[in-house]
Amino acid sequence: VTPHKLNIVPFVSVDSMMKLVLAIGVETVLTEMAQYIEQDYANWKNFDKTARVASHSHDGVIELMPTSDGNLYSFKYVNGHPKNTKQGLQTVTAFGVLADVASGYPVLLSEMTILTALRTAAMSALAAKYLAPKNAQTLALIGNGAQSEFQAIAFKAILGMKQLRLYDIDRAASHRCAKNLEGMGFSVTVCNTSQEAIEGAHVITTVTADKQYATILTDNMVGSGVHINAVGGDCPGKTELHKDILLRSDIFVEFTPQTRIEGEIQQLTADHPVTEFWQVVSGTAKGRSSDQQITLFDSVGFAIEDFSALRYVRDKLVQTKHFDELDLIADPDEPRDLFGMLLRAAAA
């Protein structure tokens, strides 16, 4: 989308994002978004990579996550405030911008609360495509909150996994998740314990919201050959897995310097070996190498995934037309005459 006026930036609101996703179809969106992420991970070496820029406060954190591949630039604004739900607010809200590196002009402003749930699920399933055991059919989903349905649909769309085993400390959350997924071709079992949920599972996804060191899985629960998709351990002081599981696993991460601080591996020494996922995508490192191996994707969410997601949304604007036009960029007739623009507005 090239705006017809220099002052205009396309804006995808929450409502537009829902319409865009529904128009294309959630499964298709997740499948295509995973392809965009895969392309960008294959291009890893050309990206500017920095850890988040975080502003911590008593009740939460506000972060900026910028990156660039030299042609496009993106950043995401995202907060994390666990107590927000008590006031009926979202724990995490987000929005982001895609910009043209050559001119510095923004080319897209988008809500990213929904988009982050989509890109996280797409990333999880993409990693599992390389790391899960062959013919994986059963997914255990531990933590059935805001991200759970997106995770389930991504694994079905991208890996064909239809057997779902749900567990949440709030049983109502599991039932809501099961109900939301009705009619989509899943076979769903709501479980009473996390132990029960992972029985027979080929992939275990942990996506809980506890902001503390928690032990959602203990070592004796995890058998050989599974793939663990650890999504919920994503900030300092917040982990989900017992350390002994990590020691038995081959660990894959997004961007090591960030994951050492935020991921499950904050429990390990700083020199514990990990593989960056881009190496697997580009073929310079192995993904799964045996049926017995426990693979662990220690996912904390990285700026490149947001970049891919924004790039995907931008590419879909022409087709779906679900966007508004924001008058965001001052466009004087003569670039050096900004004040003259104000004078002409006064005269008009």
Which string of x and - marks every residue 45-64 that binds a second copy (by CB under 8 A)? ---x-x--x-x-x-xxxx-x
State the minimum distance, in angstroms, from the CB of residue 47 to a second copy. 11
Active site residues: 234
Which string of x and - marks every residue 15-34 that binds a second copy (by CB under 8 A)? x--xx-xx---x--------
Binding to a second copy, residues 151-210 (CB under 8 A): 173, 176, 180
Antiparallel, parallel or unpaired: β 187-190 and 94-100:
unpaired
Binding to a second copy, residues 228-287 (CB under 8 A): none
Residue 207 or residue 226: which is nearer to a second copy going by CB?
207
Stretch that binds a second copy, among 67-75, 259-267, 277-285, 289-297 (CB under 8 A): 67-75
State the minimum distance, in angstroms, from the CB of residue 166 to a second copy. 13
Binding to a second copy, residues 285-314 (CB under 8 A): none
7 binds a second copy (CB under 8 A): yes
Q: Which residue has the tokens 């969106």?
A: 29
157 with 150: CB under 8 angstroms?
A: no
Question: What 8-state DSSP symbol labels residue 238?
Answer: B
The alpha carbons of the chain give a radius of gyration, in whole angstroms, of 21
The secondary structure element, H or E, covering residue 213 is strand 213-217
Task: Measure Cα distances from 124 to 96, 109, 207, 272, 320 in Å.
Answer: 21, 25, 11, 22, 26
Work out the number of other CB atoms within 10 angstroms of the CB of residue 25. 12
96 binds a second copy (CB under 8 A): no
State the minimum distance, in angstroms, from the CB of residue 129 to a second copy. 22
Binding to a second copy, residues 101-140 (CB under 8 A): 101-106, 111, 113-114, 117
Antiparallel, parallel or unpaired: β 8-12 and 106-111:
parallel
Amino acid at 121: A
2 binds a second copy (CB under 8 A): no
CA nearest neighbour of 308 among 50, 55, 36: 36
Stretch that binds a second copy, among 11-19, 241-249, 269-277, 300-308 (CB under 8 A): 11-19
Question: What 8-state DSSP symbol labels residue 293?
Answer: P
Take residue 61 and report the two structure tokens written for it.
């954190």
Q: Which residue has the tokens 């804006």?
A: 11
Phi and psi torsions of 154, nearest 5°: -65, -45
Take residue 104 and report the two structure tokens written for it.
């510095």
Which string of x and - marks every residue 75-94 that binds a second copy (by CB under 8 A)? x-x-xxx--xx-xxxxx-x-
Stretch that binds a second copy, among 69-77, 241-249, 272-280, 306-314 (CB under 8 A): 69-77
Stretch that binds a second copy, among 221-229, 230-238, 289-297, 322-330 (CB under 8 A): 322-330
328 binds a second copy (CB under 8 A): yes
CA atoms within 13 A on the CB side of 17: 22
Residue 52 or residue 288: which is nearer to a second copy going by CB?
52
43 binds a second copy (CB under 8 A): no
Residue in 247, 285, 318, 330 binding a second copy, rule: CB under 8 A: 330
